[in-house]
Amino acid sequence: MPATPESHQTIALVVRHNTAGIGEPVGRLLAFLQEAGYRVVFESETAAHLGLPGIEAMSVSGIGAVACAVIVMGGDGTMLGIARQLAPFDVPLIGINLGRLGFMTDIPVERMIPVVGDILGGKARAEKRTLLEGRVLRGGAMIACGLAVNDVVVARGAGAGMVELKVAVDGNFMYNQRSDGLIISTPTGSTAYALSAGGPLLHPSLGGIVLVPIAPHALSNRPIVVPDSSEIVIEIVSGRDTSVNFDMQTFASLAHGDQIVISRSPNHITFLHPEGWSYYDTLREKLHWNEYPSGEGKLR
């Protein structure tokens, strides 16, 4: 059981509400936390969709102001969405996996009660992660902005040809690139889209930003890691239906001459993992390292 909380300690729950049968594990976790003496609030959208009687709903900004921790039940997409919104408040995040990979939501739902109890009782490993912030400039004026936990992606339209991008780092011209797009990733995002495009894995404690071309025309255009103190400027030279997205969740359409200015955000997020958690264990499990095909054609 967790240590007895002070009366003012509030735990917020954010739940991927379209998961079949989600009511039962949510109910178990809610009862556990309330029995332990915590005030439990639900993020407003979660509360509206769950329809549980007698629960307290709260806005994200309200949660940021009062919660001592936020428990996210869902997949990495659920965690990405709420992490960006809560980044200015630096509220610790605990992830319970209801998705597939679960790099950020790393607690199995069947073990959530004892593990959450241990974490709230102080048996936890805190891990800070950096974010990126991006501004879209048109004629020198900002027309859009966003935060990214994983990545900022500039990409061509689905039915369009290649896009040409002019890329500079800290005011130094790096290259003009013709490709399907460019991924600018945090270490956290290096296990996501950047990895599938051939980028390297970056340990979360590294202070780096990785630029990964998407299907570049010139095979010499390779991924490059730059310091996370860098300012990266991407200008749209040519291409149709080009857009920029932040964590694949917020989008802005781009025109020729638009610039996307990307840098490390002053905010960060904090994950709370169980004691003994290891990044390398996570990689081995999620990426199926040390597994080989069995005689039946299944990995083991």
Could you tell me the two tokens for 121?
């009782």
Contacts of 66 (CB under 8 A, 6+ apart): 10, 41, 58
Number of neighbouring beta carbons within 10 Å of residue 122 = 9
Is the C-alpha dihedral spanning 120, 275, 287, 179 positive or negative?
Answer: positive
**Angle, CA of 296, 298 and 300, to the nearest 5°:** 115
- Taking CB atoms within 8 Å and a gap of at least 24, the contacts of 47-51 are 49/17, 49/18, 50/15, 50/17, 50/22, 50/23, 50/26
Which residue out of 76, 180, 228, 247 is catalytically annotated?
76
Is 76 catalytic? The answer is yes
Could you tell me the two tokens for 115?
């593990």
Number of neighbouring beta carbons within 10 Å of residue 8 = 8
Cα-flanking dihedrals φ and ψ of residue 267, to 5°?
-85, 160
Would you name the residues annotated as active-site residues? 76
